[in-house]
Structure 1
Amino acid sequence: MRFNCFFLFLLVLLASQENVYSQVGMGNTNPDPSAILDMTSTTQGVLTPRMSSAQRLLIASPADGLLVYDTDEGAFFYYENSIWNKLQSEIRDNYKLVKNVSDLAEELTAGGGSTYLLDTNTFYEINGTIVLAAPIDINDSYVSGLDANEDILVRAGGAIFTGSTGGSIRSLTLTAPGGSIFGLTGSGAETLVFQNCIIANSGSVGSISSFGVVFMNIIQLVNNTTGITYTNIGNVLLSNVAWFDTNAGTFETYVGTFGLIEKISGFCKVPAGATGVDVSADPDVSQGTILSVPFSGLGTYVNGYTMLGGSYPGYFFDNDWYVSCPGLPFEADSNTSGYYYMTGNTTVTDFVTAGADTPVKIAGTTTATSLFRTSSATDNRLVYNGKNTREFEVICTGTVDNDANSPNARVYEFSLFKIPNGMAGAVVSAISSERRFSNNDIGNFTLIGIVSLAPGDAIEVHGSVNNVGGTLNTVVTRLSVILK
């Protein structure tokens, strides 16, 4: 009887052997058809063989895919192609993936519930569209997407980035309907790097003040109500910043003191009613450069300097700027010019008091025009107001009425007179001409030459006569002086 029961049990076991070896479910009664072993648990895990490195290396003929835990290395190893490979599981403590605003919950708590205070030196990867409930304090972190068209930060009615620290922002679209992108005020030492981004559909691009460096590169600005104001920044470096004609207001405003402003490439398409660049607050800039930035459209390209002597008719910037852009007048020391003249003059030049062969300034009231980086606050004088020393061409013509009575003809010498800034002047003998006049004679003279001028240097036209005896009422009736 016992033998029959055992035989029956053996038959049942053999009959079910195919199912036993085809699938095994542990913790479940319905293993997945694709799995030879399907384990289900909420309280336990799988424990692989644990061994030392020496024991692992002594495993005979390990199969590809063999998995063990090495207790010496504190890591999993798997065998493949005759090599034991370590499974890397290093934790990155300076990286955070942000796919939802809830991923910034810790940062919101750190900011007291009113600001997302980011961790310093941490890379925040923005993935998708993130709708912010508060501004971000970038706190010297790195905020970046992978695709500026798909990775977007949105905040309605407020600023996206606020605070007093810098950081890096890259490859994102930023939009703040009814709000602004930036509201940053530093201490003068901070650095902001902003690259490969789009600013769109915002109430304002915002303001950045008291930073050490602001660097923007490859930025598109589209459909914003107004632009950005830079205030008291050490170095503003703008490269390939593109303002489209869907923007309104004033695109860029500069206020205060700057070490360097450099704006290169990109473009400004300024629609009617808008302004491209505003420097009407007369910012103090050690060196300003705007190069290869086309300005176009029906709006105001530049709202220029207003301070006395800071700008010139038809030009926009002061002497510390170099501007070479399609749509704007060329502004540089190399384009310096000045012109003054007088006609119908009746003022006598007093050669008698000066004495024979002693240069004296030609007298008369002159009118100055076509001044660029030059000034003429005194009659018969041009002052060079540029930034760098350079050479100039001088052309001068004059008409002399030798109203005199003398037994002999008089010889006049006319010359350029250079007055270095803050120093006594002297005749430039290389730029002079000589003319002999009979009594009551009228004639012309011409001066042509090259003179080197430093900022603040001035030029005048002087004359002398070899004989001051008898009656001498010489008048230079006409005088024209061109500096270029």
Structure 2
Amino acid sequence: MKKQLHFLICLSVLLLLSLKVDAQVGIGTTTPDVSSILDIESTTQGVLTPRMTTVQRLAIATPAEGLLVFDTDEDAFYYYDATGTNWVELGNAVLRDNYKLVKNVADLADELAAGGGIEYLLNTDTYYEINGTINLAFPINLNDAYIAGEDTNEDVLIGTGAIFSGAAGGSIRNLTLITPGAVFNLNGTGSENLIFRDSFVVSSGSVGAISNFNLVFISTAQFLGNTSGIVYTNINQLLLNTLGWNGTNGGIYETFAGNFDVIAKQGGFSEVVGATAAVDVTGITSTSGSFTIRTVDFYGGGNYINGSSPYAGYNFTRDWDVDCPGIPVETDGVATGNFYYDGSLTTGFTQSITSTGTSYEVEPLVPSFTANSLFRFTSAGGDNRLIYDGVKEREFNINTSMSVRVSGANGNFYAFYLVKNGTALIESNSIIEINSSSQIQSISLNANVSLANGDYIEVHVQRLTGSGTDTLAVFSENLSIN
């Protein structure tokens, strides 16, 4: 019996050895497909690949090209790409160049190593897609990379201190950012560019600080529940578009300090309830371009602007062009000024006219004019002069009313007119004839004139006929320009 069994075993081995090495194998079928080396058929069961965590997957030593595993942390199949020396999620087998999907902070292990274990140093010109909530242990150095989510509400970066730090720029989009520290701690060298858009900054210690950048563009960002805002310092071009500052924010929402070429803030809102201010511009030292705030809605009843305007009742210097609901409009287009004689109406003031054909500025020996309602105008020359202090040349309308009397000049003719930079505006001339020394006459002067920065306007008088010394008495004089 043993000999027979031994014979059958030997025969079976010989038969197996005689098979072709490329023979097909079928599981669940006796007729495997001719194109397959292994054909598995079942209507009740599947194929189960090795299952492991992300850490276990990354710990596989020298994985073979095409090695397939299921990552239980990521809930995804991964295969190994030997050419790229990286694991690729099977669902993203066809990827753009310079791309990395981040579904867990462990996916940034290489970046942490590149950052010396103290920051995540991103690869330059690489697109990092954030998928889900990522709890960061260290700050991110953008290093001119692009980091973005697909769903702002679902794709979240949570930090322990600063989320973004370092000297480099980059692009940040479609993310929610939360940290007990500062979201931004960026200090460049003056040549870097930063784009931040379509994102939320929520419940953070502060939005942070960005300084010494060439270009900073922040668009369609919402800020809620942050203890303090953001400080912009020494930025060549600062572009802020459609930013929403909710009343739950504290501190100063946006602080501008140092030197800028351009500041352009447009759209959005600032709801100020308990915060210190929405905007602080007191720290700006110089500009070589222009500053603009347009169509930003300021509301909530708090302090909207910390400013340093030379014009009473306004917030900004003449470098700004501001037109927003909730705060005064401040543009060269609404520049205005007024002065008036504030002495006794019954006695007025007098001055001597001794020469015919000579232009005299109408002013008392002791200045007694009051200049008020000045916006982008200043006063001088005993306040009987308004000087345009705006930046852009524009057309103005000037209106002047006066009540005068001339003594000892019966039959003489007098001309009253406006003067620009010492030159008479002929179109404003008003001619009167003196009939008696007790006659009081009303005079109205009007002119449209173009003024550039530094141009000034005065009221003058000239005796056209007669000789000797006449006495001009002015009971009222009021000039307005707008």
TM tier relative to shorter chain: 0.7 to 0.9
3-state SS of the aligned residue for 2:150? coil
Question: Is residue 2:152 matched to residue 1:148?
Answer: yes
In the alignment, which residue of structure 1 is the partner of 2:454?
456
3-state SS of the aligned residue for 1:149? coil
Quote the Cα distance in structure 2 between the aligned partners of 1:336 and 1:142. 45
Quote the Cα distance in structure 1 between the aligned partners of 2:131 and 2:168. 24
In the alignment, which residue of structure 2 is the partner of 1:428?
425
The one of 192, 215, 223 equivalent to 1:221 is 223
Give, in angstroms, the shift of residue 456 of structure 1. Answer: 1.2
* Match runs of 1:243-282 below 5 Å: 243-282=245-284
The one of 233, 236, 241 equivalent to 1:234 is 236
Asked if structure 2 preserves the Cα contact closer than 8 Å seen for 1:409 and 1:439, the reply is no
In the alignment, which residue of structure 2 is the partner of 1:127?
131
Quote the Cα distance in structure 2 between the aligned partners of 1:216 and 1:376. 40
Quote the Cα distance in structure 1 between the aligned partners of 2:458 and 2:387. 9
Quote the Cα distance in structure 2 between the aligned partners of 1:37 and 1:227. 55
3-state SS of the aligned residue for 1:267? strand
Give, in angstroms, the shift of residue 292 of structure 1. Answer: 1.4
Instruction: Give the 3 Å change call, closer, same or farther, for CA 46–199 of structure 1 in structure 2.
Output: closer
In the alignment, which residue of structure 2 is the partner of 1:114?
118
In the alignment, which residue of structure 2 is the partner of 1:81?
none
Quote the Cα distance in structure 2 between the aligned partners of 1:483 and 1:391. 10
Question: What amino acid does structure 2 have at the position aligned with 1:255?
Answer: A
Question: What amino acid does structure 2 have at the position aligned with 1:272?
Answer: G
In the alignment, which residue of structure 1 is the partner of 2:71?
none
3-state SS of the aligned residue for 2:314? coil
Quote the Cα distance in structure 2 between the aligned partners of 1:151 and 1:39. 31
Aligned-pair identity in percent equals 42
Q: Deviations over 1:353-373 (max 9, x none)?
A: xx2021110112210111111
Instruction: Give the 3 Å change call, closer, same or farther, for CA 36–385 of structure 1 in structure 2.
Output: closer
Give, in angstroms, the shift of residue 344 of structure 1. Answer: 3.0
Asked if structure 1 preserves the Cα contact closer than 8 Å seen for 2:353 and 2:469, the reply is no
Give, in angstroms, the shift of residue 410 of structure 1. Answer: 2.0
Instruction: Give the 3 Å change call, closer, same or farther, for CA 23–132 of structure 1 in structure 2.
Output: farther
In the alignment, which residue of structure 1 is the partner of 2:73?
none
The one of 471, 475, 478 equivalent to 1:473 is 471
In the alignment, which residue of structure 1 is the partner of 2:358?
358
Give, in angstroms, the shift of residue 93 of structure 1. Answer: 5.1
* Match runs of 1:310-349 below 5 Å: 310-344=309-343, 346-349=348-351
* Match runs of 1:37-116 below 5 Å: 94-116=98-120
Quote the Cα distance in structure 2 between the aligned partners of 1:164 and 1:195. 19
In the alignment, which residue of structure 1 is the partner of 2:388?
384
Q: Structure 2: which 5+ runs fail to align?
A: 16-24, 33-39, 51-59, 67-91
The one of 173, 182, 191 equivalent to 2:176 is 173
Quote the Cα distance in structure 1 between the aligned partners of 2:457 and 2:444. 15
Instruction: Give the 3 Å change call, closer, same or farther, for CA 377–134 of structure 1 in structure 2.
Output: farther
Give, in angstroms, the shift of residue 294 of structure 1. Answer: 0.9
3-state SS of the aligned residue for 1:328? coil
Asked if structure 1 preserves the Cα contact closer than 8 Å seen for 2:400 and 2:479, the reply is yes
Quote the Cα distance in structure 2 between the aligned partners of 1:233 and 1:136. 21
Q: Deviations over 1:345-390 (max 9, x none)?
A: 65433421xx202111011221011111111133210011112111
Question: Is residue 2:312 matched to residue 1:293?
Answer: no
Asked if structure 2 preserves the Cα contact closer than 8 Å seen for 1:128 and 1:152, the reply is yes
Question: What amino acid does structure 2 have at the position aligned with 1:291?
Answer: R
Give, in angstroms, the shift of residue 439 of structure 1. Answer: 2.7
Quote the Cα distance in structure 2 between the aligned partners of 1:19 and 1:272. 73
Number of residue equivalences: 415
Tell me the TM-score normalized by structure 2: 0.79
Quote the Cα distance in structure 1 between the aligned partners of 2:246 and 2:277. 12
Give, in angstroms, the shift of residue 300 of structure 1. Answer: 0.5
Quote the Cα distance in structure 1 between the aligned partners of 2:250 and 2:420. 49
Give, in angstroms, the shift of residue 475 of structure 1. Answer: 2.4
